């Protein structure tokens, strides 16, 4: 068992050089490249005199990173590349965070290497990218100054009359624009393959195309170095996903070539692979509970306290294990302390799964029934705002808290019935599927013509054809459907006409249906007046008419998110008995269905104006079904204020020495997707490694 006391810098560098080749064991059964970080065994008396009254540090490293996701992994690799020893702590059993279940779409820009590759009409060195470029040269041509203006444009209003760029932190976005090139290059140097530039992400800028999606080529085996993924690991359509890729990897032939499979697994797994290869150490199943600073509101941050947070299979009770093990430190002690010699980087994700925290933006979201995307993948402690809260406890300021309101998928209805997390369409095959229980019945918008949607007392509240509709996401090529008077290259940055009353009047298109869903109703009780669950009600005829698959794994007979019954009365009783968050009877359900059927007979819906946008269908053929239609809090905006160096800034506007943050743990940026977090991670890793000890 290797134990190492604190060593001088020279020794650390020597250890670092050996990091890749050495494979000592820290704990029985868990391999770890010890050289990268100076480790002690948890529970031993290797005490250091800390300014916070003799904390016994169980582990230490130059850079301690909280969260192995979209900020943490690039930060870890970057810090290792610059010679720092790195420990990454993650509350989950497997690295990747939300990035692992993402679409793998990365908008950068400012003249990044992929924009230049497409401008030149070139492919990649491996010959995987042979699809023609999707944009004209002019749509790809820009520089960091142009990107910076795009990301801080006060004038842009989206179709929900929100201003997604106006409130972005200027210093942060200057640094973002200046580091996009290096970040794209960094990704490619760490086994990440990306296809052609195709449009831009929501709130990724109005004026140029900047998005590329990550891919693997389907091959006989999964081999990150070769860039291949097996068919099994990539997922079988409608049947299975895998531990490697929690969501089915989609066809990527349009952006790369035939056989390409795309999504976030093609980003998260390469970064994880590279981090492990370079000697980053992972302490998984470990939730950060506290950041320790010399004094609560002054001095450097010196380390963290973290508690054991194993994930267990909900059926067998067996602990879940990471896909790859090299570099793992398997420590099952309840509480450990980890010292950070140089810096701590918070990449712990956002606050989307913390009902108390998120309710500061919207009281209705104190409803605990509703979860954040990736709920099963990340477990009950994912996206719990712990990174933000820990930063606040040592004096950090916040930024961009109101920007949760400026992106359409922050909270929304994905239209996936019969599952608690409607965003993540996970199929069986991933170890966390047992927690989820059902993939969900994923309906396109037009399929809502076959059902009605009711609140917790069984009353309709909106035109069902509009329930899942949402507006927002002002991004290239934009145009009137995104709230802007001009489209594509015709968009004019910083032009007052973009924000004119006339433009907003003519482009506003937000139905606000989700707010009707979250509204108080007769079942809401003081003090929180929660909306309660939301139910889609339909019948056998709907299932047959629109060819829905309501069998497992799309639904579960036991997880309480799907019910069938011979009559509406029986259905209401089953929901009350079987759904965890159904706190009151669906008193009005029978009356609501009868009323709906009378509207169908009349051909019009006097309550919510259905019948003008789609045909109406009676709900009368048994068996009857109820499936949850849950909203999801997908991505969160607002968090720790960071500056352009990704340093966390305190209430006096000063950086907290040694403390960095990025991604959804940070605020002040309203860009959707992975680009923001990756750049933050790259910047944080760079600057953290350069800190003094």
Partner 1 sequence: MASDNEELEVVGAETPHTADVVAWDVPSAIAAGERFRIKVGIKCAHECDLTNGDVAVFDHKGARIATGTLPGDLWPGTTGLYVAEIELEAPSVHGLYTWTVKGPGSSVGVPHAEGSVSFGVRVVSQPDHLVTIETVDHVNQVPLSGARVVMHPYRAVTDERGRAELRVAKGAYTLFVSQTRYLTLGLPVEVDADMSTRAELDLEPVIERN
Site map for partner 1, 187-206, x if CB under 8 A?
--------------x-----
Least distance CB 623 / partner 1 (angstroms):
4
Q: Is 591 in the site for partner 1 (CB under 8 A)?
A: no
What is the rounded distance in angstroms from the CA atom of residue 348 to the CA atom of residue 329? 19
Q: Does the footprint of partner 1 cover residue 618 (CB under 8 A)?
A: yes
Separation CA 63–CA 12 (nearest Å): 13
Residue 601 beta carbon to partner 1: minimum distance, rounded to whole angstroms: 3
481 binds partner 1 (CB under 8 A): no
With tokens 């794209």, the residue in question is 184
Q: Is 316 exposed, middle or buried (0-12, 13-18, 19+ CB in 10 A)?
A: exposed
CB of 244 to partner 1, least distance (A): 18
Site string for partner 1, 355-394 (x = CB under 8 A): ----------------------------------------
In the complex, the smallest distance separating the C-beta of residue 409 from partner 1, rounded to whole angstroms, is: 8
Find the binder of partner 1 among 127, 220, 603, 692 (CB under 8 A). 603
Could you say whether residue 349 binds partner 1 (CB under 8 A)?
Answer: no
Report, in Å, the least distance between residue 280 CB and partner 1: 26
Of 125 and 547, nearer to partner 1 (C-beta) is 547
Q: Interface with partner 1 by CB under 8 A: which range of 292-300, 395-403, 525-533, 560-568?
A: 560-568
Min CB(380)–partner 1 separation in Å: 22
Q: Does 562 bind partner 1 (CB under 8 A)?
A: no
- Which stretch, 214-222, 390-398, 562-570, 576-584, contacts partner 1 (CB under 8 A)? 562-570
Hey, CA dihedral for 549, 554, 558, 559, is it positive or negative?
Answer: negative
Using CB under 8 A as the binding rule, whether residue 567 contacts partner 1 is answered as yes
For residue 546, state whether it binds partner 1 (rule: CB under 8 A): yes
CB atoms within 10 A of CB 24: 13
**Smaller CB separation from partner 1, 281 or 373:** 373
State yes or no: residue 613 binds partner 1 (CB under 8 A): yes
Contacts (CB under 8 A) with partner 1, residues 208-247: 247
- Contact assessment for residue 422 and residue 632, using Cβ atoms and an 8 Å cutoff: yes
Does the footprint of partner 1 cover residue 620 (CB under 8 A)? yes
> Can you tell me which of 40, 85, 102, 354 binds partner 1, judged by CB under 8 A?
102
Applying CB under 8 A, the span of 291-299, 430-438, 554-562, 605-613 interacting with partner 1 comes to 605-613
Taking CB under 8 A as the criterion, the residue among 621, 645, 655, 690 binding partner 1 is: 621
From residue 17, give the alpha-carbon distance in Å to each of 20, 21, 219: 7, 9, 34
Residue 619 C-beta: closest distance to partner 1, Å: 9
Under rule CB under 8 A, residue 623 binds partner 1: yes
Residues 641, 200, 131: CA angle, nearest 5 degrees? 140
SS3 per-residue string spanning 113-155: HHHHHHHCCCCCCCCCCCCCCCCCHHHCCCCHHHHHHHHCCCC
Nearest to 306 by CA among 381, 374, 380, 358: 381
Number of residues counted as binding partner 1 (CB under 8 A): 48
Largest separation between any pair of C-alpha atoms in the chain = 84
Shorter beta-carbon distance to partner 1: residue 72 or 422: 422
Residue 447 in contact with partner 1, rule: CB under 8 A = yes
CA 14 – CA 72 distance, rounded (Å):
25
Q: Provide the 10 A C-beta neighbour count for residue 508.
A: 14
* Shorter beta-carbon distance to partner 1: residue 171 or 601: 601
CA dihedral for 583, 587, 590, 591, sign (positive or negative): negative
CA dihedral 296, 300, 302, 304 (to 10 degrees): 50
Strand-pair partners of 346: 66, 661
- Please identify, using beta-carbon distances, which residue of 51 and 615 lies nearer to partner 1: 615
Q: How far is the CB of 257 from partner 1 (least distance, A)?
A: 20
Mask of contacts with partner 1, 403-422, x by CB under 8 A?
A: -----------xx-------
**3 state SS of 22:** coil
Single out the residue of 173, 196, 193 nearest to residue 115, CA to CA: 196
Q: Convert 467-506 into a string of H (helix), E (strand) and C (coil).
A: CCCCCCCCECCECHHHCCCCEHHHCCCCCHHHHCHHHHHH
Q: Should residue 675 be labelled a site residue for partner 1 when binding is judged by CB under 8 A?
A: no
Using CB under 8 A as the binding rule, whether residue 547 contacts partner 1 is answered as yes
Choose between 530 and 575: whose C-beta lies nearer to partner 1: 575
CA distance readout (Å), 354 to 300, 367, 387, 392, 504: 28, 10, 12, 15, 33
* Contact between 595 and partner 1 per CB under 8 A: no
Q: Report yes or no: 165 and 154 within 8 Å, Cβ to Cβ.
A: yes
The least distance separating partner 1 from the CB of residue 182, rounded to whole angstroms, comes to 23
**547 CB burial (10 A radius; 0-12, 13-18, 19+):** exposed
Q: Which stretch binds partner 1 (CB under 8 A): 16-24, 74-82, 513-521, 567-575?
A: 567-575
Residue 481 CB: number of other CB atoms within 10 A?
Answer: 11
Q: Check residue 568 for interaction with partner 1 (CB under 8 A).
A: yes
672 binds partner 1 (CB under 8 A): yes
Indicate whether 541 belongs to the interface with partner 1 (CB under 8 A). Answer: yes
* Inter-residue contact 533 to 412 (CB < 8 Å): no
Considering the complex, state which of residue 238 and residue 615 has its C-beta at the smaller distance from partner 1. 615
Residue 589 vs 659, nearer CB to partner 1: 589
The 8 Å CB, 24+ separation contacts for 611-620 are 613/463, 613/465, 614/446, 614/448, 614/449, 614/465, 615/449, 616/449, 617/449, 617/450, 617/541, 617/542, 617/545, 618/539, 618/541, 619/451, 619/452, 619/537, 619/538, 619/539, 619/542, 619/593, 620/539, 620/541
Tokens describing residue 81: 């590349």
Q: 81 vs 251, which CB is nearer to partner 1?
A: 251
List interacting residues with partner 1 (CB under 8 A).
102-105, 201, 247, 414-415, 423, 425, 442, 444-447, 449, 540-541, 545-547, 564-570, 594, 597-598, 600-603, 611-616, 618, 620-623, 672-673
């Amino acid at each position: 068992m290797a134990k190492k006391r604190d060593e001088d810098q020279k020794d650390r560098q020597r250890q670092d050089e050996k990091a890749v080749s050495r494979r000592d064991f820290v704990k029985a059964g868990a391999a770890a490249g010890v050289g990268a970080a100076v480790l002690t065994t948890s529970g031993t008396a290797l005490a250091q005199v800390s300014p916070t009254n003799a904390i016994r540090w169980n582990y230490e490293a130059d850079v301690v990173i909280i969260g192995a996701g979209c900020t943490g992994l690039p930060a870890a690799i970057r810090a290792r590349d610059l010679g720092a020893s790195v420990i990454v702590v993650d509350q989950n059993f497997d690295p990747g965070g939300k990035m692992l279940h993402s679409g793998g779409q990365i908008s950068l820009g400012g003249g990044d290497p992929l924009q230049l590759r497409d401008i030149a009409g070139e492919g990649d060195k491996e010959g995987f990218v042979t699809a023609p470029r999707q944009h004209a040269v002019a749509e790809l041509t820009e520089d960091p100054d142009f990107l910076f203006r795009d990301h801080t444009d006060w004038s842009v209003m989206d179709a929900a009359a929100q201003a997604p760029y106006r409130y972005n932190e200027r210093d942060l976005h200057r640094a973002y624009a200046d580091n996009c090139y290096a970040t794209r290059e960094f990704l490619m140097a760490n086994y990440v393959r990306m296809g052609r530039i195709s449009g831009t992400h929501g709130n990724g800028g109005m004026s140029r195309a900047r998005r590329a999606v990550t891919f693997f080529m389907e091959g006989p085996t999964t081999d990150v170095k070769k860039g291949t993924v097996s068919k099994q690991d990539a997922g079988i359509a409608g049947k299975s996903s895998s531990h490697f890729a929690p969501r089915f990897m989609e066809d990527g032939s349009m952006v790369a070539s035939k056989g390409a499979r795309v999504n976030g697994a093609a980003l998260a797994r390469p970064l994880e692979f590279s981090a492990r290869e370079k000697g980053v150490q992972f302490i998984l199943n470990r939730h950060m509970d506290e950041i320790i600073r010399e004094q609560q509101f002054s001095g450097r941050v010196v380390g963290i306290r973290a508690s054991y947070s194993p994930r267990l299979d909900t059926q067998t009770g067996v602990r879940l294990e990471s896909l790859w093990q090299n570099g793992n430190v398997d420590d099952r002690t309840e509480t450990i302390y980890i010292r950070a010699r140089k810096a701590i980087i918070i990449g712990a994700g956002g606050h989307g799964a913390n009902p108390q925290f998120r309710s500061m933006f919207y009281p209705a979201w104190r409803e605990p029934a509703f979860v954040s995307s990736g709920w099963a993948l990340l477990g009950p402690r994912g996206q719990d705002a712990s990174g933000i809260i820990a930063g606040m406890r040592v004096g950090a300021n916040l930024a961009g808290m109101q920007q949760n309101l400026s992106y359409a998928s922050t909270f929304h209805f994905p239209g996936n019935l019969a599952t608690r997390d409607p965003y993540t369409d996970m199929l069986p095959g991933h170890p966390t599927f047992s927690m989820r229980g059902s993939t969900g019945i994923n309906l396109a918008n037009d399929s809502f013509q076959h059902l009605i949607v009711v609140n917790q007392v069984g009353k309709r509240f909106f035109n069902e054809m509009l329930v899942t509709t949402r507006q927002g996401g002002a991004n290239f090529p934009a145009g009137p459907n995104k709230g802007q008077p001009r489209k594509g290259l015709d968009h004019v940055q910083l032009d007052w006409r973009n924000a004119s009353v006339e433009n907003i009047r003519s482009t506003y298109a937000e139905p606000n249906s989700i707010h009707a869903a979250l509204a108080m109703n007769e079942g809401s009780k003081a003090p929180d007046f929660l909306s309660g669950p939301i139910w889609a009600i339909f019948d056998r005829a709907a299932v047959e008419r629109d060819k829905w698959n309501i069998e497992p794994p799309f639904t579960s007979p036991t997880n309480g998110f799907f019910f069938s019954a011979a009559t509406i009365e029986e259905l209401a009783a089953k929901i009350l008995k079987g759904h965890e968050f159904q706190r009151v009877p669906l008193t009005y359900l029978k009356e609501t269905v009868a009323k709906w059927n009378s509207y169908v007979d009349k051909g019009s819906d006097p309550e919510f104006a259905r019948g003008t946008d789609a045909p109406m269908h009676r709900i009368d053929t048994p068996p009857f079904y109820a499936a949850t239609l849950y909203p999801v809090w997908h991505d969160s905006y607002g968090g720790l204020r960071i500056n352009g160096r990704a340093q966390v800034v305190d209430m006096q506007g000063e950086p907290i020495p040694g403390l960095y943050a990025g991604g959804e743990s940070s605020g002040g940026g309203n860009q959707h997707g992975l680009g923001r977090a990756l750049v933050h991670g790259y910047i944080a890793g760079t600057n953290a490694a350069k800190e003094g000890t």
